[in-house]
Each structure stands twice: as C-alpha cells, then as structure tokens.
Amino acid sequence: MLLSVIVETSRAVTATSSRTAKVTHLAAALRAAAAQDPGRVGAVASYLSGSLPQRRTGVSWRSLTELPTPAEQATLTVAELDDAAERLTRTSGSGSAAARARLVKGLFCRATDDEQAWLRAVFVGEARQGAGDGIMLQAIARAADVPDATVRRAVMLAGRTGPVAAAALTGGAAALDAIELEVGRPLRPMLAASAPDVAGALATLEGEVAIETKLDGIRLQAHLDDGAVGLFTRTLEDVTDRLLEIVDVLHALPVRRAVLDGEVIALGEGGRPLPFQVTGARTASSADPQRLRAEVPLTAYFFDLLHLDGADLLDRPLGQRWDRLAALAPAEQLVPRITTADPVAAQAFFDEVVAAGHEGIVVKDLHRPYAAGRRSPGWVKVKPRHTLDLVVLAVEWGSGRRQGWLSNIHLGARDAETGGLVMLGKTFKGMSDEMLRWQTARFRELAIGDPDAGWVAQLRPEQVVEVAFDGVQRSSRYPGGMALRFARVLRYRDDKPVSQIDTVQTVRLLAGW
C-alpha cells in the first residue's frame, strides 16, 4: 500500500468537521489496507491516527528542520515506512545518531513534498487531523462490519488500537472476541468523570457508594504472573525497572497471577504526601533504581483488582472486586475509603482527606463493572477546587519582571466530538521563577519555527498542564465561546498524554450550560 493513500486520507479527514465524513474516509483506507497489505493494517491504523506504532524512534524535531529534495512521484510504501521506523527504534549505542540520520535521509528522499510534511509531523508528534480515538474505533467497526461495542471492548483489553484494527479487518468479530485480558499486557485504565462538589457527585449515583481517597500520585497498573512483575503507567509505559520497591510488594502477595489497579506516591513525615513533582520525577527517572529507592521511596496503594488466579474480574461489580482485593492485599496497601449513602459522612470524609494533603475523593458505584479506557459515570472525582488538565497551544514572551521568559500560556481543551483542540483562554498566574525558567526551556523545544521571531510562539501541542480556575464565562474571543475565569497553573503533567486532557464538553458541564 502506498503511503500517499495515508497522506491523502489524513488531508481529507483534516479538511472536514463532520464526524461521519471522518469515519467514512478512515474506514475506506482501512479496507484498502486489508485488501493490499493485511499484515500492515495495525500500522495503517496508527498512521491514520497520526502516530507511529513504534512510539519512540529517537528522531527529534531539530533533526528534521532541513530535508532532502522530495521525490517527484509517490512510490514510498507503508511497509517501507514501518520497516524504517522499526530499524530506528533498534538503533542505539555508539554511532547511533549518525545511523539514524542516514535512515531518516533515506526515508525522506523517497517521499514526495506532501509525504515529507506528513512524515515530519508524525515523527515529532505534531499530526493533528481530528481522528481521535473514538472516531478511529468507529472507523474500524465500519471497515470490518462489526459492532462498535465489540471494538471498544477489544481495545480496552488490548490497550492499543493497531492490534485491534488488524484483528477486526483480518478476522472479524470472532478475532475481536478472542482478545482477552492478558496478564503482563497492560489494558487501558478506567477514568473518572468530574463533579464540582461532594453533593454533586452523590447526586449522580444511587444508594450506598464507595468514597475513596484521591491520591496525588502516579496511576499504576500492576501485573503478577508466576513471579514475573510488570508495572505500567496510565499511558501504558513499562516502568517496572524503576520501581523496585513496588516489585517487592507484588512478590509478597499470596497469589500466583493477578492484575491490580492503584497509585504510587512519595510520602513525607507522618504519611503526608510530598509534592506531585517528587513522585513524578522519581517514576520518570532511569537513574540507579536502588539509589532512588533509598532517596525517594514510593508507597503503593491499590483500589481495584482486575484478575485473580485465572479469573477475569472486569465484569464483576466493584463491590465484589474490592472484597477480593481486601482479602489479598494488606490493609496498609489499600487506598483509604468508606462506604456510605450519607452526604454528611461523605463530606466529612472529603474534608478529612483534603486536610491530610490529598487531592480529593473519588465516589464510586459499587455495582458497576470496570469500564477500562474511558471516563465512566460509575466513578466521579471531586477536588476542593475546579481544576482541568489542558494542553499548551502557544506561549507569549513576558514583559517587565518577566522580560526574557516565555510566560503567558494559551490553554486548549479537547473537543470530544471532532478530536480537535479548542482554546479556552490564557494565563500567566501561578508561575514561580523556577517554573518560568523550566517552561522557557521546555517551550523552546516545542516551538514551531523560531520562538524568538515574534511575540507569540506557536507550540506543538504536547505539554499537558493542570490549571485551577474560579469559573467559566462566555466569551466571543475564543473559538469555544467561553473562557476560564482566573485560571492559574498548578503544575505541568508529564505523566498524562494529550489524548487524556479534559474536553470542551466537560467544561460546559461544569459551567452548567
């Protein structure tokens, strides 16, 4: 299959705001891939989503600023791109930079001008054609003529879209039904919706609920398989080698095979949580794990059990999953929680949790199954202030005391209907001098073009930021028709991908619109 088919499809998807049209274009390309090169359907699905199945290739934005003369005719194939990307991921050690440069040059020499532009965007994570996860899953279902729900469940269990597309287009519903939870392979984590306060969260659920402490740590999915341990973040990154103390926790459990969901967090004196950046830096570091373990020990708290000794528990009610978890893990490794239907008791627990330095609570329906990979009404998080996880779209140079620093950031939310990014305003509040120094360096790396060329630097939309705000107001100044009031930066979230930022629809819901 020629790469030009992918490029042309991406252009068509970008050009339309119609969800139906996007799905139609994507489904046609997937069917063509299945007919011409069935072994590469998974790669095609990734490319149509604007990403490489290999994820990291070591190719930087700066290495692609000068490209070779483009080819006149489209001859580059999907197979050649996929093979080149695989070689790039395997290239390491002495002389690897030069070897990667030769591989990249050889690849781009084969590409036309349009293909070069598309390749550059995909390699650096800048491809945004509005083919979000929901749209792609619909396209897979249509291309393979299988139910949407079957595709969604398969992706939940497989973790990634590419393998599911390959299964659907080559084996149909039977191949999708054969995809099961596999101990050792991360699945997509269940996510929580948001409510402005405890009363609002309780109003969305009925009867007795579980109210759990929302820890300000790193989400962790833990797999144990006959002594082999796998630890994965919410982005499905394998961090097993970095968290040796958590590996020991898993080895101590009286079980042969299990999959647990929870958080890891760095605690200070009296068990009070240390700043999120401490936990984030520890889990992201690839330095000597034994030294890091001694300097910044992490504590694991579990709140769900998805598999136990050959039995998948995903479809069991939360109450049953918790009972089995509580029988398996020591009490000190379980997230603090209560069960109640009393709003007064729920508010008191919330106040106690916040006073202890934690992020808030998660209210959970005891009767719901585990809805991996999406925000479910069965889990509702409450924080003591309005917060959103957004992406930085652009940044402005500061003035006065902030002269010489990239300061005022442009905030964007994800549109759940189109997959695009929508600006919700700007902020320069909440930034310490240390943060300003960090973000100036970071945004220079993400700048599209020369960041010094003007007052505003446009950025590749990759940096997630958590902001607090006092409310939402209508505004004709921004495309979304609204703006955040008194937004201020709480922290930058390197643990969260742009695909999981909050949506425009969530902001409207918080505003009561």
Question: Does residue 429 have an active-site annotation?
Answer: no
Residues 449 and 507 sit within 8 Å (Cβ to Cβ): no
Cβ–Cβ contacts within 10 Å for residue 101, how many?
12
Smallest CA-to-CA distance from 200 within 512, 502, 513 is with 512
Question: Into which CATH architecture does domain 386-511 fall?
Answer: Beta Barrel (2.40)
Is the whole model's pTM more than 0.85, yes or no?
no
Instruction: Identify the DSSP state of 188.
Output: P
Q: Would strands 360-365 and 337-340 be described as parallel, antiparallel, or unpaired?
A: unpaired
For the record, the structure tokens of 207 come out as: 């009867």
Cα separation of 356 and 348, whole Å? 12
Assign domain 3-177 one CATH number from 3.30.365.10, 3.30.70.3270, 1.10.3260.10, 1.10.287.70: 1.10.3260.10
pLDDT of residue 130: 60
Smallest CA-to-CA distance from 427 within 390, 385, 481 is with 390
Residues 315 and 371 sit within 8 Å (Cβ to Cβ): no
Distances (CA, A) of 216 to 138, 187, 246, 371, 434: 34, 22, 17, 22, 21
Exactly one of 22, 214, 381, 383 is catalytic; name it: 214
For the record, the structure tokens of 212 come out as: 């759990």
Cα separation of 191 and 389, whole Å? 13
| Domains of the chain by residue range | 3-177, 191-382, 386-511
CB within 8 A of 306, min separation 6: which ones?
Answer: 181, 187, 259, 260, 261, 312, 313, 314, 321, 370
Report the CATH number of the 191-382 domain: 3.30.470.30
Residues 6 and 28 sit within 8 Å (Cβ to Cβ): no
Cα separation of 444 and 450, whole Å? 8
pLDDT of residue 22: 92
What does the pLDDT profile of the chain (513 residues) look like in tens digits?
999 999 999 999 988 878 899 999 999 999 999 999 999 999 999 999 888 888 777 787 777 878 889 999 999 999 999 999 999 988 888 888 888 889 999 999 999 999 999 998 888 776 766 667 889 999 999 999 999 999 999 999 999 899 999 999 999 999 999 999 999 999 999 999 888 889 999 999 989 999 999 998 999 999 999 999 999 999 899 999 999 999 999 999 999 999 999 999 999 988 999 888 789 889 988 889 999 999 999 999 999 999 999 999 999 999 999 999 999 999 999 999 999 999 999 999 999 999 998 989 999 999 999 987 677 789 999 987 788 999 999 999 987 678 899 999 999 999 988 889 999 999 999 998 899 999 999 999 999 999 998 899 999 999 999 999 877 888 888 888 899 988 999 999 988 899 899 999 999 887 767
Straight-line distance from the first to the last Cα atom of the chain, in angstroms, rounded to the nearest whole number: 46
Instruction: Identify the DSSP state of 221.
Output: E
pLDDT of residue 363: 97
